[in-house]
Each structure stands twice: as C-alpha cells, then as structure tokens.
C-alpha cells in the first residue's frame, strides 16, 4: 500500500467506491423510511432523535472510508475484501434500524458499526506498517478507533436515559479521532476526489428522496386519490429536489478544497447536508400521506417536515460552499434569504409548491450571476478562495 499523489490529475471515483456508496444508501433509505413512519404516527421526538442517532453511525462510517480511500487506495484483493466487509457492516446496521426506532434497541446498529470499524482499524494498521501513512498517524487512527468503539459497545449496557445523555459526548469523541491523529502528519487525501465523492453521495441521497416521494404518490394514485393538490405537491417536490441538486453543484468545491485544505470543517458539515437531503424525501412522502389522511399529524407539522430540512440544507451549503469563497456583491445573500423564505412557507396553504418556487428562484439568481460574471462556474459573484492554511 502506498499513498496517492495529492496532485494526481483526473483522480476519479472507482467502481468499488461507487458500489460502496450505493450499498450505504440502502441504510440511508431504511433510516429515512422509519423517520417517515414515526413522523406520520405523530411521534416526532422519537422520530427526530432516532434519525439523528442512527444516521450519525452510517454517515461517520462512510466518512472514515471515503477519506482513507482518497489517500490510500491500492485497489488490490485485500483492500477490496476489507471494503466489502465494511459494506456488510452497513447492511447489518440497516437491518437494525427498525429495532432502534421501535424499541430503542441499538444492538444490531452497534454490531454493524463495530464490523465497519474493525475493518477500518485493519486498513489503518496496514497503512502504518507499509509506510503509506506516517506510522504515528496510522497507529493513532487505529488506536483511537479501537478505544472509541469499545466505548460504544459499553454504551449498549447503559439504561436508555443514560444512553441519551452519553450519545453526544461519545459522538464528539468519535469526531475527534481524525483531528488528533492528523496532528502527527496530514493524510494525503485528494481535494478534487473528495469533492467528487461527496457530490456523488449527495446525488444518490437526493435520488433516494425522489424515489420515496414517487412511491408515496403512486400509493395515492393506486388508492384512487387524484386531484390538483396531489399534482401540485408532486410538482413542487420534484422542483425542490431538482433545485437542491443545482444549488449544491453551483460552487466548485474541489477547487476550494485544493486552495484551502480545510477538509475537517467541510467534511463534517456534510452531516447536515446528507441528513437534510434524506429527510426531505421522508417529508415529501409524509405530505402525500397527510393529503390522503393516512398520517396522524397537523398540516403545519407536515409542512415543517419538508421546509425545515430544506432550510437546513440551504444554510449548510451556504456555510460550506459559498461563504468561505468570499463571494463579491449580492452572491453571498440568496441562500440564507431563501432559507428564511422556505421556513416562512410552512404557514402557507401549499408549502411544498411554494418551497419549490423559492428554490427555483434561487437557481435563477445563480444562473443570472454566472452569466454576469462571464460564465464563471461559481454563480452569484466572483469567488475568491480563502488563503491556504
């Protein structure tokens, strides 16, 4: 195993990485499906807390492998086999999602997480022993992951109230492992490859949202429900997801990461982007259920299941992609303003179509901004990356 060249040209996602992403989205779909079910039953607190908890496990496991494979990817038989073990762990985790939501039983979730982490520990040990990673860095990663995973296993033994209190500190400790490990030396991750991997996963999760909403509309049609309100909802949902895709890819994240190397903040912040994108699909399906009287929740609650994650998505994209690039002129303002308008749409009679119209307006402003700057790929003003660390 050797370190990849950070200046390697045309570094692209491999077929193994694409397969890895698709398998992980199976777990994301399971989590989003349970969020939809529990919100529809009016159990909002359980729905949101369980969603955030289980989603953290699948997101963080995806993060760990993605950054490792960007820096060290020999694509040999041992690496492929370990990758498939990680995928197996993700599927075990997915199998435990319903138990986590229904009974607050995280045994299968932690088991799947443990399988994934043991596989990652083996990769870091291999990287350290082969000299691909600086030895202290590799062993710090391996040791840190082992210690935190042991704590997660011990977490299972706590009573439910104590588990809830201990989750956030343990999650923060998990997030601290890469920060502490890379104090010895930074791993050789590839900026444009990382940007592509995150972009691909964002697209796949948005696609899962489209599928969830489409399935809900199909169920309504199969039940002989048809009307202008259903068509407005379906059209507004599609417009929303299409615009979310457009907004994300309006800024060239690879160029920004190459200029700044500020990967931790950017990478960690995608917890909100991925989570919000998954939640939008559940929210759209929930609004269809509310329309057909299959969901036990109020109209404002159904509306908020779409408008809140969309607003979180817009603000996070603004914080990670737009604001750090020092856009000149009006280009720095549309996304936070759009998020405020989307939240205001919660109280309207047609919140999903209004949300779609607001996001379509944001896309229009981005296209106009790109045209005014002579076709610059970063819409809405001149982008000036921050100075490198």
In angstroms, the CA 306 to CA 302 distance is: 7
Q: Which contacts (CB < 8 Å, 24+ apart) does range 345-350 have?
A: 345/303, 345/307, 346/300, 346/303, 346/304, 346/307, 346/308, 347/300, 347/303, 348/303, 350/229, 350/232, 350/233, 350/236
In angstroms, the CA 163 to CA 156 distance is: 7
Start and end residues for every CATH 1.20.1410 domain found in the chain: 191-372
In angstroms, the CA 245 to CA 242 distance is: 5
The pLDDT score that the predictor gives to residue 286 is 85
Q: For the chain, what percent of residues have pLDDT higher than 70?
A: 86
The pLDDT score that the predictor gives to residue 129 is 86
Whole-model pTM: value is 0.86
Give the dihedral sign, CA 174/176/180/186. positive
Whether 313 has a pLDDT exceeding 90, the answer reads yes
Q: Which CATH class is domain 191-372?
A: mainly alpha
Whether 170 has a pLDDT exceeding 90, the answer reads yes
Res. 100 pLDDT band, cuts 50 70 90: confident
CA count, 13 A, side-chain hemisphere, 253? 25
The pLDDT score that the predictor gives to residue 259 is 56
Q: Token pair 């964002």 is at which residue?
A: 202
Res. 300 pLDDT band, cuts 50 70 90: confident
User: Please, are residues 321 and 253 in contact by the beta-carbon 8 Å criterion?
Assistant: yes
Question: What mean pLDDT is predicted for residues 222-241?
Answer: 79
Q: Which residues contact 363 (CB under 8 A, 6 or more apart)?
A: 243, 246, 247
What's 319's DSSP letter? I
For residue 11, give both structure tokens: 């570094």
- Tell me the average pLDDT of the chain: 83
Q: Which of 371, 381, 382, 367 is nearest to 330 (CA)?
A: 381
What's 104's DSSP letter? -
Whether 160 has a pLDDT exceeding 90, the answer reads no
In angstroms, the CA 39 to CA 212 distance is: 15
Please write the tens of the pLDDT for every residue from 325-351.
655 555 567 888 999 999 999 988 889
Give the dihedral sign, CA 192/142/80/273. negative
The pLDDT score that the predictor gives to residue 37 is 83
Whether 152 has a pLDDT exceeding 50, the answer reads yes
Q: Which residues contact 374 (CB under 8 A, 6 or more apart)?
A: none
The pLDDT score that the predictor gives to residue 325 is 66
CA count, 13 A, side-chain hemisphere, 289? 24
For residue 82, give both structure tokens: 């370990």
Please write the tens of the pLDDT for every residue from 345-378.
998 888 989 999 999 998 888 777 766 665 544 4
Q: Cα–Cα–Cα angle for 314, 320, 321, nearest 5°? A: 80
Res. 75 pLDDT band, cuts 50 70 90: confident
> Where is pLDDT greater, at 332 or 52?
52
User: Please, are residues 311 and 247 in contact by the beta-carbon 8 Å criterion?
Assistant: no
In angstroms, the CA 332 to CA 229 distance is: 34
Question: What mean pLDDT is predicted for residues 10-39?
Answer: 85
The pLDDT score that the predictor gives to residue 255 is 67
> Where is pLDDT greater, at 115 or 70?
115
Question: What mean pLDDT is predicted for residues 33-61?
Answer: 85
The pLDDT score that the predictor gives to residue 184 is 73
Whether 385 has a pLDDT exceeding 50, the answer reads no
Question: What mean pLDDT is predicted for residues 376-382?
Answer: 41
Res. 101 pLDDT band, cuts 50 70 90: confident
Question: What mean pLDDT is predicted for residues 291-311?
Answer: 83
Largest CA distance in the chain: 64
Question: What mean pLDDT is predicted for residues 2-19?
Answer: 78
Whether 172 has a pLDDT exceeding 90, the answer reads yes
User: Please, are residues 33 and 85 in contact by the beta-carbon 8 Å criterion?
Assistant: no
Work out the burial of residue 162: count CB atoms within 10 Å of its CB; fewer than 13 is exposed, 13-18 middle, 19 or more buried.
Answer: exposed
Please write the tens of the pLDDT for every residue from 103-127.
888 899 999 999 999 999 999 999 8
Whether 386 has a pLDDT exceeding 80, the answer reads no
Length of the chain measured in residues: 389
Q: Which residues contact 91 (CB under 8 A, 6 or more apart)?
A: 23, 26, 27, 112
For residue 193, give both structure tokens: 């490859």
For residue 145, give both structure tokens: 């992951």
For 21, 69, 104, 114, 180, the CA distances from 122, given in Å and listed in that order, are 20, 13, 30, 12, 19
């Amino acid at each position: 195993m050797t370190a990849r060249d950070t200046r390697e040209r045309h570094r692209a996602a491999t077929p193994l990485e694409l397969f890895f992403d698709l398998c992980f989205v199976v777990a994301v779909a399971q989590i989003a499906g349970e969020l939809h079910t529990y919100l529809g039953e009016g159990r909002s607190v359980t729905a949101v807390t369980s969603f955030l908890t289980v989603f953290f496990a699948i997101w963080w496991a995806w993060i760990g492998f993605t950054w490792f494979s960007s820096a060290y990817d020999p694509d040999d038989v041992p690496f492929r086999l370990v990758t498939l073990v990680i995928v197996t762990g993700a599927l075990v985790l997915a199998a435990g999602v319903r138990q986590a939501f229904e009974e607050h039983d995280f045994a299968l979730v932690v088991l799947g997480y443990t399988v994934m982490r043991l596989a990652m520990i083996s990769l870091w040990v291999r990287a350290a022993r082969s000299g691909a990673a600086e030895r202290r860095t590799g062993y710090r990663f391996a040791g840190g992951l082992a210690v935190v995973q042991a704590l997660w296993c011990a977490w299972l033994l706590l009573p439910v109230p104590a588990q809830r209190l201990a989750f956030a500190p343990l999650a923060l400790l998990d997030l601290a492992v890469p920060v502490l490990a890379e104090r010895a030396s930074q791993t050789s991750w590839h900026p444009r490859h990382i940007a592509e991997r995150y972009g691909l996963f964002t697209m796949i999760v948005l696609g899962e949202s489209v599928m969830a909403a489409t399935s809900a509309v199909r169920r309504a049609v199969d039940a002989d429900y048809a009307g202008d309100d259903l068509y407005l909802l379906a059209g507004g949902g599609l417009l929303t997801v299409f615009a979310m895709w457009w907004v994300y890819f309006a800024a060239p994240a690879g160029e920004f990461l190459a200029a700044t190397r500020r990967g931790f903040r950017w990478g960690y912040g995608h917890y909100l982007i991925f989570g919000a994108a998954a939640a939008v699909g559940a929210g759209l399906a929930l609004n269809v259920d509310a329309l057909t009287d299959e969901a036990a929740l109020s109209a404002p609650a159904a509306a908020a299941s779409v408008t809140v994650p969309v607003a979180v998505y817009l603000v996070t994209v603004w914080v990670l992609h737009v604001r750090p690039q020092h856009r000149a002129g009006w280009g720095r303002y549309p996304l936070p303003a759009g998020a405020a308008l989307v939240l205001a749409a919660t109280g309207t009679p047609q919140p999903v179509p209004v949300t779609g119209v607001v996001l379509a307006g944001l896309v229009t402003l981005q296209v106009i901004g790109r045209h005014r700057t002579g076709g610059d790929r970063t819409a809405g003003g001149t982008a000036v990356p921050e100075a490198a660390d």
